[in-house]
Amino acid sequence: MLRITNLAFGYESTPIVEDLSFEAHPGEITVIAAPSGRGKTSLLKAINRLHEVEETPFWHTGTIEARVDGVVRDVYDPTLDVHALRRQVAYIFQSPTVLPMSIAANVAFGLRLAGERDRSMITERVRVALEAVGLYDEVHARLDAPAQILSQGQKQRLAIARALILEPTVLLLDEPTASLDPVATERIEALLLRLKEERTLLLVSHDEVQVKRIGERVIELR
Task: Return averaged pLDDT per consecutive 10 residues of the chain, 222 residues in all.
Answer: 96 91 95 86 95 89 93 95 94 93 97 91 97 97 97 97 96 95 95 94 91 92 79
End-to-end CA distance of the chain: 24
pLDDT tens-digit readout, 97-114:
899 999 999 999 999 988
Rounded CA gap, 203 and 29, in Å?
A: 7
pLDDT attached to residue 56: 86
Query: Which residue in 73, 64, 85 sits closest to 22, CA to CA?
Result: 64
Q: Are 31 and 211 in contact (CB under 8 A)?
A: yes
Contacts of residue 158, defined as CB under 8 A and 6 or more positions apart, other chains included, come to 96, 98, 103, 106, 107, 133, 135, 147, 150
Q: Where are the alpha helices (DSSP H) in the chain?
A: 40-47, 82-88, 103-113, 119-132, 136-139, 152-164, 182-195, 208-214
Rounded CA gap, 50 and 61, in Å?
A: 16
pLDDT attached to residue 69: 86
Domains of the chain with CATH codes = 2-220 (3.40.50.300)
pLDDT attached to residue 155: 97
Query: Which residue in 180, 186, 131, 175 sits closest to 152, CA to CA?
Result: 180
User: Is the alpha carbon torsion for 122, 127, 131, 134 positive or negative?
Assistant: positive
Q: Are 57 and 11 in contact (CB under 8 A)?
A: yes
pLDDT attached to residue 16: 92
* 3 state SS of 61: strand
Give the global pTM.
0.94
Q: Are 171 and 92 in contact (CB under 8 A)?
A: yes
- Number of other CB atoms surrounding residue 118 within 10 Å: 10
Tell me the β-bridge partners of 8.
61
Angle at 27 (CA atoms; ends 23, 30), nearest 5 degrees = 45
pLDDT attached to residue 222: 73
